Amino acid sequence: MKILAPQQIRDLDQYTIQHEPISSIDLMERAAQHVASELMEKFYNKRFCIFVGTGNNGGDGLAVARVLDDFAYTVKVILVKTSVKLSADASINLDRLLKTNPTCLSTVKKIGEVDFGQIKKDAIIVDALFGSGLSRPLEGLYKSVVDAINELPNKVVSIDIPSGLFAEYDKNSAQGNSIIRAHTTLSFQMPKLSFFMPESGCHVGQWHVLDIGLARNFIREQPCSHYVVSKKQIKKLRKKRPLHSHKGNYGHALLIAGSYGKMGASIIASKACLRSGVGLLTAHVPHWGYGIIQSAVPEAMTSIDRSDMFFTEFPDLNTFSAIGIGPGLNKKRNTVLAFETMLDNMNSQALVIDADGLNILSENKHLLGKVPENAILTPHPKEFERLVGVWNNDMDKLSRLKKFCQQYQVFTVLKGAYTVTCTPNGTCYFNTTGNPGMATAGSGDALTGIITGLLAQNYSPEEAAVVGVYLHGKAGDLALKKESTESMTALDIISCLGAAFKKIG
């Protein structure tokens, strides 16, 4: 699914109005019907308190109030209004509401006029103050109202976008200080980019997309560099296995991971790689790790380093279709040298670089130029910061991510609640599977194993990264059915990979 920019969304709105065709008031009505249905389904028989502003987001709120009232729900509407006139469609909806229920509305012009004590604790607050038309941070009356709502214990549902939150913002500016903290956000047609950033996404709560029937052909034709990954897309990418196939058809992966005291990284990455369908796996480990890996992962072959404790050499690379390097290594001089020599000797093998592999790159930036085109780097935010420097805000982080991928012609999987895969041309794919239970030791090693396994099976780097991240998150979600967010371990995630593949279908 595309994530369009605010101006594209406004154009989409206008295009739909002109070409469907539909009047803008009827489009608002359709949007409001969707919101009201969702509210009635989620909050059956609850009472609602709807805060509305003067623009079209407020218009949506006024129309939602009327629909809920028609279904005999108890609704209070608070119109927060400075001297600004209502938008044309908000004004029509205000008249319609007053005709059906003249007593539900109060208008406030000063903060003291809102009696927050009157709002029952079990009432659902609907936030329809500002939507995608927000042009500056909230101040004055609006700021006070939003701050006061955030102090209430009530659940808040935001229409389209939490009020005060910019759908997108500049890499040098910041989100305002006063933003609704929603429990749920019902977003029209597509999520907004800021939902995916840690600093702004924390305001959104659970978001749901309401398909209000905006013109699909227009969406299809829009240039776009931000996408949300869908299950449908992953299903299309999954490679089906022919009946008459053998392990030779599914590639040979090499995992260079683990060192003295960190052999678990090699075990976890190896297990994840095998569970992702690789035909053959060789784990390259230091001498002392031999017995450990052979007994923990009997399915893997081993390549033994002459060093007892660390990675200092590598086997003939030509045997392998994909290589994963980094988990549990270290940054010792000989390891750095071996890594550099390996980069110099790469031919056509696909490559994943994680953990200490990335730290070596950030401490030896000249090595970045040796990373082969289309390699996949899988940093967590701290590792990424070491590679690109400190960012001003999350939009700046995203812009550095695109620049980095374009400069070095690599794929970067930047891990987080919404892990984003950025391609060498700067296209970003946001992943929505996964949960906080996956923030656990070894989880990243598992992802390295999965992506390496998919690469070995001839998934393209883009496919391997996007599918790998999706599967990893899905397996984590399935593991959460048996475990809690606290108890989940990396091995729990790996044990659910089979079920995750089945869920894709």
Ligand X SMILES: NC(=O)C1=CN([C@@H]2O[C@H](COP(=O)(O)OP(=O)(O)OC[C@H]3O[C@@H](n4cnc5c(N)ncnc54)[C@H](O)[C@@H]3O)[C@@H](O)[C@H]2O)[C@H](O)CC1
| Nearer residue to ligand X within complex by CB, 58 or 444 | 58
Please report whether residue 50 would count as binding ligand X according to CB under 6 A.
no
Q: Is 444 annotated as a binding residue?
A: yes
Please report whether residue 185 would count as binding ligand X according to CB under 6 A.
no
Size of interface with ligand X, in residues (CB under 6 A): 26
DSSP string over 371-386: SPTT-EE---HHHHHH
CB of 77 to K ion, least distance (A): 14
The encoded tokens of residue 36 equal 């009201």
Looking up tokens 């989880």 gives 443
Please report whether residue 185 would count as binding K ion according to CB under 5 A.
no
Element spanning 41, H or E? helix 24-42
User: What are 303's strand-pairing partners?
Assistant: 284
With CB under 6 A as the contact rule, the residue among 83, 135, 295, 347 that binds ligand X is 135
With CB under 6 A as the contact rule, the residue among 68, 138, 269, 293 that binds ligand X is 138
Please report whether residue 57 would count as binding ligand X according to CB under 6 A.
yes
Contacts of 404 (CB under 8 A, 6+ apart): 387, 388, 410, 412, 422
Please report whether residue 53 would count as binding ligand X according to CB under 6 A.
yes
Please report whether residue 481 would count as binding ligand X according to CB under 6 A.
no
CB of 6 to ligand X, least distance (A): 9
Q: Is 136 annotated as a binding residue?
A: yes
367-402: burial string, b at 16+ Cβ within 10 Å, e else? bbebbeebbbbbbbeebbeebbeebebbbbbbbbbb
Q: Is 326 annotated as a binding residue?
A: no
CA–CA distance, 291 with 454 (Å, rounded to integer): 27
The encoded tokens of residue 153 equal 């214990």
Please report whether residue 359 would count as binding ligand X according to CB under 6 A.
no
| Nearer residue to K ion within complex by CB, 57 or 362 | 57
Q: Which does 53 bind (CB under 5 to 8 A by kind): ligand X, K ion, none?
A: ligand X
With CB under 6 A as the contact rule, the residue among 1, 8, 49, 55 that binds ligand X is 55
Please report whether residue 158 would count as binding K ion according to CB under 5 A.
yes
Please report whether residue 210 would count as binding ligand X according to CB under 6 A.
no
Candidates 125-133, 221-229, 300-308, 399-407; binding stretch for ligand X (CB under 6 A) = 125-133
CB of 90 to ligand X, least distance (A): 8
| Nearer residue to K ion within complex by CB, 209 or 346 | 209
CA distance to 68, 203, 402, per residue, from 414 (Å): 42, 21, 11
Please report whether residue 191 would count as binding ligand X according to CB under 6 A.
no
Please report whether residue 132 would count as binding ligand X according to CB under 6 A.
yes
CB of 178 to ligand X, least distance (A): 9
End-to-end alpha carbon distance in the chain: 19
The encoded tokens of residue 470 equal 């999706």
Contact 172, 391 (CB under 8 A): no
Please report whether residue 452 would count as binding K ion according to CB under 5 A.
no
Please report whether residue 184 would count as binding K ion according to CB under 5 A.
no
DSSP string over 418-454: T-EEE-TT--EEE-----GGG-STTHHHHHHHHHHHH
Please report whether residue 163 would count as binding K ion according to CB under 5 A.
yes
Please report whether residue 124 would count as binding ligand X according to CB under 6 A.
no
Site for ligand X in 76-105 (CB under 6 A): 87
Contacts of 475 (CB under 8 A, 6+ apart): 493, 494, 496, 497, 499, 500
Select from 121, 142, 131 the least CA-distant residue to 32: 131
What binding mask, one character per residue, do residues 38-67 give for K ion by CB under 5 A, x or -? -------------------x----------
* Helices 355-363 and 381-388, axial angle in degrees (round to 10): 20
CA–CA distance, 239 with 243 (Å, rounded to integer): 13
Q: Which does 188 bind (CB under 5 to 8 A by kind): K ion, ligand X, none?
A: ligand X
Site for ligand X in 410-449 (CB under 6 A): none
Q: Which does 134 bind (CB under 5 to 8 A by kind): ligand X, K ion, none?
A: ligand X
| Nearer residue to ligand X within complex by CB, 53 or 289 | 53
Please report whether residue 168 would count as binding ligand X according to CB under 6 A.
no
The encoded tokens of residue 150 equal 């955030």
Q: Is 305 annotated as a binding residue?
A: no
Q: Using CA atoms in the order 69, 95, 132, 179, what is the torsion angle rounded to 10 degrees?
A: -60
Q: Which does 453 bind (CB under 5 to 8 A by kind): ligand X, K ion, none?
A: none
Element spanning 319, H or E? none
Please report whether residue 207 would count as binding ligand X according to CB under 6 A.
no
With CB under 5 A as the contact rule, the residue among 13, 60, 89, 127 that binds K ion is 127
| Nearer residue to ligand X within complex by CB, 27 or 338 | 27
Helices (H), 77-227: 88-100, 140-151, 198-201, 216-221
Residue type, 8: Q
β-bridge pairing 350-353 and 322-325:
parallel
Query: Binding site membership for K(+): which residues?
Result: 57, 127, 163
Residues within the interface to ligand X (CB under 6 A):
9, 13, 27-28, 31, 53, 55-60, 87, 130-136, 138, 142, 159-160, 188, 214
Residues within the interface to K ion (CB under 5 A):
57, 127, 158-159, 163
Query: Binding site membership: which residues?
Result: 56-60, 127, 131-137, 142, 160, 163, 265, 328, 380, 415-419, 444-445
Query: Binding site membership for AMP: which residues?
Result: 415-419, 444
